[in-house]
A and B are shown apart, each in its own frame.
Chain A
Amino acid sequence: MLEILGLLGNGFLIVFEPLNLALIVGGCALGLFIGAMPGLGSVNGVAILLPLTFLVPPTGAIIFLAAIYYGAMYGGAISSIMLGIPGASTAVATTFDGRPLAKQGLADKALTGAAVASFVGGSISVILFTFFAPPLAHIALVFGAPEEFALMMLAFATFVGLGGDDIFKTIFSIAIGLVLSAIGFDIISGEPRLVLWDITGFLHGINFLVLAIGIYGIGEMLWTVEENSLAGGKSMLSEATVTVQRTMKNLRELVGTWKTLLMGSVLGYFVGILPAAGATPGSLMAYGIAKQISNEPEKFGQGAIEGVCAPEAANNAASTGSMLPMLTLGIPGSPTTAILLGGMVIWGLEPGPRLFTDHSEFVWGLIASLYAANLFAVIINIAFIPVFIQILKTPFTILAPIIFILCLIGGYAPTQDMHDVWLMLSFGIVGYLMRKLDYPLAPAVLAIVLGPLAEPALRQSLIISDGSFAIFFNRTYAGPIMIAAILLILLPLFKIGYDKIRNKQS
């Protein structure tokens, strides 16, 4: 316990270095902005801006990106409330009651509620994180190749079992991500592998950023172009009156929602840990439970402040939760953390439990930065509500070309090869076409990040066992993890069977 506090103290010393402090404030503000823009969320921001972080040391880079991640969770609520369009999928539930409040002229109440709830969710989850992470990393230190592979299977299995998308399309997405990550050289024999159509550009493999920016940058923007085209460019921005007195009154009224806030935070944190779940389902679940435990459930959907607080506390808590498996096990808990994990590999850090011992400065600097980012985000958010409302008035046709340009350069920067820019553009267009057919793309991004770690883990395990797959089932930790993964994959089948039996009975 004392040791943890000592390490956290060291983390704060790193955070209070002027450069890191500036990165947190800048990251929070940028994240708020990205989150507030309809269509763009934390994952888009982190993917598009990751190439910019090559400028600073790894600790500064992860602090900056984590601050964006955090800020975006706060910012998503702004357009949910003001426009009725979720700023990011994580803020969908916030529209249910945030929008009615805005229509009643109480936009400021909803915005303050969202900001405070995000703060509470962030704070509770980061405290849980501080005390859960080190013991988990300690257990994970004994993990070998079979356990690592089993954990990755579990991560993919959560997408199949809990993702809620078409099962075949989910499995396809995972498999294609893993195959794309295998392009380049065979890691063991050193021979060229899968040099598609014998184009030499494939010899250096496919950088995960090329796929991530393709899908979350170009693809997402094409999607937004479509939505704008369907909406005919009309927007319905609500008016908001913001005064100090009203803000104080709003803050006082929020004290009564403490139960909802606590529930949302704890629920969000634990849902966030699961790779396929994360902030969006976490916030929807929190909304549902808040309605059930409320004394006035009929007010939900009409402008209940608890309906804004519950999902906002949960989505911030989930974003912290998703960092737990990323830092302790090397398994990302969300697409955004998958990109952060890929970034760590680029910065020369090896993800996994050893991070806590080998790069303790990096880990504790990041954890301490979450405390600081949380505080800065709530201050910036409440203080600059009128500014964000102004920003929402910026026409999409000005922002879109700037974001497209950032994507093109972001695809070029890591390898400085035009081949990658073409590839990114193709991924963006094909990704857009696939998304229109409900192919989930997050599993592919997770897979391309985990692929280079999964293959050696599998091959090493099989070499140890002389080709027997039993190695994944007869070890203390690998066995239960692998069985859990298989059960999760089979979960949809159980559900189909259960539904059939029930239909027959009725």
Chain B
Amino acid sequence: MTVRTAELLMAIMMGAFSIYLMSKSTELPIGWIEDEGPGGGSWPFWLATIMLLSCVGILFNWARKHGPIASSTKTYIEPHVLVDVASVAAALTVTVGLFSIVGIYGSLPLFLIFYLRFMGKHSWRLTASLAIIIPVVIFYFFEITLKIILPKGVTEPLFIPLYKIFL
């Protein structure tokens, strides 16, 4: 896909999102209410209208090939870059998905192993030590010092003894 095609698709998607936001804003009054001032929906409605008009402007520039992006025939994301970026994005998505299932202390080591060993090609020794040390540091810093309880999923019961000691 070229940068020019990507520009078109992005403008269309953002334009559609603007229309959705406009219609969603009308759930509250968008006009003037006597003794109350502007209705609750008016601020987002008019802003979403500005968003839509900007998208129309971007499409107008696209049609007349104005500017470096609208006239670019370069590849939007190079294939080998796409592999790297997409695998990182996918790994992050899987990691966040696993937060609620196996908990943060189950998913973070997996993410670290993936990144260090398979993206970074580091030794197993370094990978294993960081995959253990980093979650421990996170537990101490966030859960004990800051008292922010992070999601644990099914591993919750394992932490009850630790809560008793530290919290």
Contact = CB atoms under 8 A, between A and B. Distances in A.
Overall SS of chain B's interface: helix
Contacts of A436: 3, 6, 76-77
B112 A401 contact: yes
A188 B36 contact: yes
A404 B78 CA distance: 23
Contacts of A409: 104, 138, 142, 150
A416 B149 CA distance: 8
A230 B77 CA distance: 11
B71 interface: no
Interface string A187-200: 01101011010000
A196 B21 CA distance: 8
B85 A222 contact: yes
Nearest to B46: A175
A229 interface: yes
Interface in B21-54: 21, 24-25, 27-28, 32, 36-38, 40-41, 43-44, 47-48, 50-51, 54
A401 B37 contact: no
Contacts of B24: 194, 196
Interface residues of A, number: 61
A463 interface: yes
Interface in A97-129: none
Contacts of B37: 188, 459-460, 462-463, 467
B128 interface: no
B69 to A, nearest CB: 5
A380 interface: no
Interface string A398-437: 1011101100110011001010011001000100111011
A188 B40 contact: yes
Contacts of B67: 166
A179 B47 contact: yes
Nearest to A461: B37
Contacts of A458: 38, 43
Given A395-B120, A397-B122, A182 B43 contact: yes
Contact of A404 (B28, B84, B92, B146): B92
Contacts of A228: 84
A402 B122 CA distance: 15
Interface of A: 52, 54-55, 166-169, 171-172, 175-176, 178-179, 182, 186, 188-189, 191, 193-194, 196, 218, 221-222, 225-226, 228-230, 395, 397-398, 400-402, 404-405, 408-409, 412-413, 416, 418, 421-422, 425, 429, 432-434, 436-439, 455, 458-460, 462-463, 467
5 contacts: A168-B57, A178-B43, A226-B77, A226-B84, A404-B111
